[in-house]
Amino acid sequence: MARVVYQGELKLGKYLRATLPLPAGGLQGKIRLKATFCYASPTDPQDAVAYTRAGLEIVFRPSGKKVKEGKANAVTKGFFDMKKYATEEERRSDMGKWETVLHGNKSMYGSSLDNPVFDIHYNAREAGGPTTSAEKIRYALIITVEAPKHADLYNDILRAYAKMLVPIQPKVTLPVRV
């Protein structure tokens, strides 16, 4: 199992591309991919229906660089079980874009992944309507890859992305009682 954490700030109307790091030779067999997005949203306390002022639209692209002829973007695949052409009401009731924590997991074959990415777009609203001015929001994205047929997944990913990834060092030590 390998886990990657992205964190930072998102600007209104901007896109963020979060690459899923894979070992140099790719992955073999069936894998499970999990992703959790958490972000801090300003709120409109006077508006119970449109309480959060920030929302994310997230697209998973299993082949982030493969673009079919005549298309502008790589093929997308649902990850958070939201319908592609859902109404605003359906989005809110079905893990909608205005929820501040999104979690999903999918099983797939490792061979179907070629430079996979999550494309994240930050939307904002004020008093339930669109706005063109909004503050940056803080976010965290945790991606977990489980690949039973890949014995040394964590270290292989760390070697492949040695200049970009660093192991997380705990800041607090907890005593373990036996």
pLDDT value of residue 94: 45
Domains, the chain, ordered by start: 2-124 (2.60.120)
Total number of residues shown for the chain: 178
Backbone φ and ψ for 32, nearest 5 degrees, come out as -125, 130
**In 3-state terms, what secondary structure has residue 140?**
strand
Residue ranges of the chain with pLDDT lower than 70?
Answer: 48-50, 64-74, 81-98
- Write out the DSSP string of 47-63: -STT-BSEEEEEEEESB
Whole-angstrom distance, CA of residue 112 vs CA of residue 69: 19
- What is residue 95's predicted lDDT score, i.e. its pLDDT? 46
Compute how many other C-beta atoms are within 10 angstroms of the C-beta atom of residue 95: 15
Rounded-to-integer distance, Cα 120 and Cα 134, Å:
16
Look at residue 12 in the predicted model and tell me its pLDDT: 85
Q: Are 21 and 5 in contact (CB under 8 A)?
A: no
In terms of Cβ atoms closer than 10 Å to its own Cβ (0-12, 13-18, 19+), residue 31 is: buried
